[in-house]
Amino acid sequence: MICVGNTDIGMVRDVNQDTFILKKYSEKTCLCVVCDGMGGAKGGEEASRLASEAFAQVVDEFITPYIGRKDKGFSANDVRKTLKLALSKANEAVYTFAKANSRLKGMGTTLVCALVIGNTVFGLNVGDSRMYFMKGSKIKQITKDHSYVQFLLDTGKITKDDMEYQLNKNVITRAVGTEISVDPDIYRSNVSNGTFILLCSDGLCNYVNDETICDIVSNDVLSKKIDEIGLNIKSRRLIDTANNNGGGDNITVALIKV
């Protein structure tokens, strides 16, 4: 398993409110967390940092004792409970910090994570940062955005071609830290060897379409050698493409090759 991550301020923003954490526990186990902060320059930065660190700490405490053991000793349900607890701690960290700093009231962040254990991927998301799977010419968005336009799409009130879709793409309906508690979506999927897992903030997917993302990651003839350097090239190429298309937001890309 190979994993890399990169983040970029983009072409418009004054600060980078995105944060990512990548932890490789063993050759078959890794954690990736991507957060996209909101709530003013300092608020967004702090929210994404606090949430990602609190989340990763809980997962660390759960996973570390099992590394190297043949019998992992935990179930899928244990993992789900751990991810929920991690989110609760992340939410508490941001909410408490904002409550103690009146100028940061309303700060929050999106959060998407992938905990990869062998060929099983456990995912969790709040907000509109995303997780994709790719293999060959196929790309699949695993997470579902918690956003106003996703609600309008789900209820048939707009299509992706409507102007309202473009105008409201950044309005999210769930965030970490803005309320005393938050409900996540949790996913479990089995993936085959050779699958790419992409986690990203909306600074990527709002400026690069799915087909182009898949071409760069999975069908890129210029970097077929899949080592850490090759994967990093793909990650940087995604960011460069978003910037070339306007780069109107911070861009964070984390790639895992199973």
pLDDT tens string 133-159: 999 899 999 999 999 999 999 999 988
Within a domain: residue 152?
A: no
Confidence label for 224 from pLDDT (cuts 50, 70 and 90): low
Q: Which residue(s) pair with 94 in the sheet?
A: none
Within a domain: residue 44?
A: yes
Within a domain: residue 167?
A: no
Q: How many angstroms separate the CA atoms of 226 and 224, rounded?
A: 6
What does pLDDT average to over the chain? 93
For 203, 233, 254, the CA distances from 190, given in Å and listed in that order, are: 27, 26, 19
**pLDDT tops 80 at residue 222:** no
DSSP 116-133: EETTEEEEEEESS-EEEE
Burial 173-204 (b: 16+ CB within 10 A, else e): ebbbbbeeebebebbebebeeebbbbbbbbbb
Within a domain: residue 9?
A: yes
Within a domain: residue 165?
A: no
Give the per-residue pLDDT at 221.
Answer: 58
Give the residue numbers spanning the domain of 244.
2-145+173-257
Residue with tokens 């089995």: 190
Q: Are 55 and 87 in contact (CB under 8 A)?
A: yes
Within a domain: residue 166?
A: no
Residue with tokens 């336009």: 149
Please compute the mean of the pLDDT values over residues 155-183 and round it to a whole number: 88
β-bridge pairing 185-190 and 138-141: unpaired
Structurally, the chain folds into a number of domains equal to 1
**pLDDT tops 90 at residue 160:** no
pLDDT tens string 89-129: 999 999 999 999 888 888 999 999 999 999 999 999 999 99
Angle between helices 210-217 and 228-244 (to 10 degrees): 150
Domain of residue 236, CATH code: 3.60.40.10
Q: How many angstroms separate the CA atoms of 18 and 37, rounded?
A: 6
Give the per-residue pLDDT at 134.
Answer: 96
Within a domain: residue 154?
A: no
- pTM score > 0.85 for this model? yes
Q: Which residue(s) pair with 223 in the sheet?
A: none
Residue 206, helix vs strand vs coil = coil
Q: How many angstroms separate the CA atoms of 142 and 223, rounded?
A: 25
β-bridge pairing 130-135 and 185-190: unpaired
Give the per-residue pLDDT at 2.
Answer: 95
Within a domain: residue 53?
A: yes
pLDDT tens string 186-220: 999 999 999 999 999 999 999 999 999 999 998 76
